[in-house]
Amino acid sequence: MTLTTTHDVILSDDVITDYAIGALSPAKHVMLACQSEISQAVSERVAFQEDLAASMLEDGSSQSLSPLFMGNVLANLPPQERSDLNTSSDPENGLAPKSLRHMLGHGLQDMNWKSLVPGVAVHDIMGDRKTKDGDRLYLLKAKGGMKMPEHSHNGEEWTLILTGSYTVGEQLFTRGDMHIEDESETHSPHIDEGEDCICLVMTQGPLKMQGWLPKVVQRVVGI
């Protein structure tokens, strides 16, 4: 039997707290911002802790604005936006959360994918996948039916599923689910048949591939 995750089952309150107070790295912050746009359950948990963080503004220290601040801003106000301009009618666009489109400058349909191996392509967003440290954020697209090579990680790997689905062991991950793995786990996701699976991925170090062939491929393509 396949178990279905319920979007936020893996995400602990600690992560939500760090998100609310702005303590996550930019890459993780974007991941969670995207997830809370897709998942109602996560967005409610986030909203609660954001209210909490905002209410703490009252207790925090104030810093006066410089005397010219207000005049400068008021003298240079741009025209206002109409509220109805924000809604996009393009269904393809809707698949990419707004926080992601903000960084890409476009939706998922205008991607410039770089092929890694047949059936798998990536698009880098932040950081360099080949460097040793620092969070890296990229989109990964895998063809339906593919089995990804078995691997573990240096550091954490966060995967937010945007389209399609995949299975690891008995667990199914689908749109809106955040899959978090640390370096102790080895896994080999199986992309479900049909739709391409597009994920937003954050990794903190090079993946550790099992087996010689994936290792060679990794050295060549870098992931």
Partner 1 sequence: MAFGLEPVIVNTMTDEGVKPYNTGRKASPKSISAAKRDAQWLSAIAQKQDARALSDLFEIYGPKLKGWLMARGVGNGTAEDIVQDVMIKVWTKAASFDPVKASFATWVYRMTRNRWIDHQRKHGRMDIRDPELMKVIADDEVPSAEANFMAQQNSDILREQIARLTPSQQMAIRMAFMEYKTHKEISAETGLPLGTVKTRIRSAIQALKANMAKHVSQIQ
Q: Which residues here bind partner 1, judged by CB under 8 A?
A: 12-14, 17-18, 20-26, 29-30, 33, 47-66, 69-70, 72-74, 77-83, 86, 126
- Give least dist CB 151 to partner 1, A: 26
Comparison of 99 and 165: residue with beta carbon closer to partner 1: 99
14 vs 170 by CB, closer to partner 1 = 14
Which residue's CB is nearer to partner 1, number 13 or number 193? Answer: 13
Nearer to partner 1, 25 or 174 (CB): 25
DSSP 86-155: S----HHHHHS-HHHHHHHSS-GGG---EEEETTEEEEEEES-TTSSSS-EEEEEEE-TT-BPPPEEESS
Rounded to the nearest whole angstrom, what is the least distance from the CB of residue 139 to partner 1 in the complex? 16
- Residue 93 vs 167, nearer CB to partner 1: 93
Kind of pairing, strands 3-4 and 171-174?
parallel
For partner 1, the closer of residues 33 and 42 by Cβ is 33
Shortest CB 187 distance to partner 1, Å: 24
Note the Cα 36 to chain centre separation in Å.
10
Which residues is 161 bridged to in the sheet? 199
Six token digits for residue 223: 């992931």
Residue 122 corresponds to which tokens in the numbers above? 């990536």
Q: Which residues are registered as beta bridge partners of 142?
A: 120, 197
Do residues 34 and 200 lie in contact, with contact meaning Cβ atoms separated by under 8 Å? yes
Cα first-last separation, the chain: 32
Alpha carbon of 64 to those of 17, 67, 70, 93: distances in Å?
28, 9, 11, 41
Instruction: Kindly state the smallest distance separating residue 126's Cβ from partner 1, in Å.
Output: 7
The tokens 């998942």 sit on which residue? Answer: 39
Shortest reach from residue 143's CB to partner 1, in Å: 31
Find the shortest distance in angstroms from Cβ 100 to partner 1.
Answer: 13
